[in-house]
Amino acid sequence: MTLLAPLRAPGYASPNMPHSLSPASLPSALAATPLRTAGAPFLWIGERLWLDFVNTDDVRRGTRVDVLRDFESLARFLESSGAFDGEHVHGMRRRAQQQPAGAAAAVVDARRVRAALRALAERGTSSEKARCDALADINRVLGRSAGTRRLDSRADGTFCLLYTSDAADE
C-alpha cells in the first residue's frame, strides 16, 4: 500500500499556511504564502497537492484558464510541487521528446484524473455516487499503466493506492 502524497512534500506549500482557512484568515494566509513559484504559473493555496492539482484548471473572470496546456507544463507542475525530483522529470521530458503521442496521452489522462478529483472536491462529501464515479474514472486511467494500479476505498472513507504486477490478480 502506498500513500498518494506525503502531508507536506519537500518544497510544497508554506510552513506559514494554516491547516484550515476561514474567509477572515484567507488574506493573511495568502500574504504569508508564496502563491507562484519561479517560472511556474501555479497557485499553491490548497495545502494539499491534489487540491492544487485541481486548481490548475480554473475559471477566472468568466474565462477558463488551464495551466496544464501541454506535457511541459505538466512536468513543471510535478517538479515545482515536489511530487517528482528534477532527475525524474528530466527523464520524463526525454521520453516525451522520443514519444510525443505518449506525452500528449499523459496530459489527457492527467486532465481526466483532475476532473475526477474536482468532482470529489465539489461533491464528494455529500454524494456516494460522486465518490464512486470519481474512483471509477481514476481507476480507468490507472488501469492503462504497466501492471495494474487502482484506488481502493477503505472502511474509514479514505483511499489507498494498490499495485499488482498481473491484471489477473484482480
Q: pTM of the entire structure? A: 0.66
Sequence spans of domains, the chain: 35-169
pLDDT for 148 equals 66
How far is residue 35 CA from its own chain's centroid?
A: 17
Q: How far is residue 57 from each of residues 63, 118, 136, 170, measured CA to CA in Å?
A: 11, 9, 21, 33
Cell digits of residue 88: 525524474
Q: How far apart are CA 109 and CA 145, in angstroms?
A: 11
Mean pLDDT across 119-131: 87
Is residue 29 within 8 Å of 18, Cβ to Cβ?
A: yes
pLDDT for 137 equals 92
Query: What would you measure as the largest C-alpha separation in the chain, in angstroms?
Result: 52
Is residue 131 within 8 Å of 120, Cβ to Cβ?
A: yes
Count other Cβ atoms within 10 Å, centred on residue 116.
23
Count other Cβ atoms within 10 Å, centred on residue 36.
11
Percent of the chain with pLDDT over 90: 31
What size, in residues, is the chain?
Answer: 170
Q: How far apart are CA 111 and CA 70, in angstroms?
A: 11
pLDDT by residue (tens digit) across 25-73? 434 433 333 444 445 578 788 678 999 999 898 777 678 888 899 999 9
Q: Which residue has the higher pLDDT, 123 or 147?
A: 123
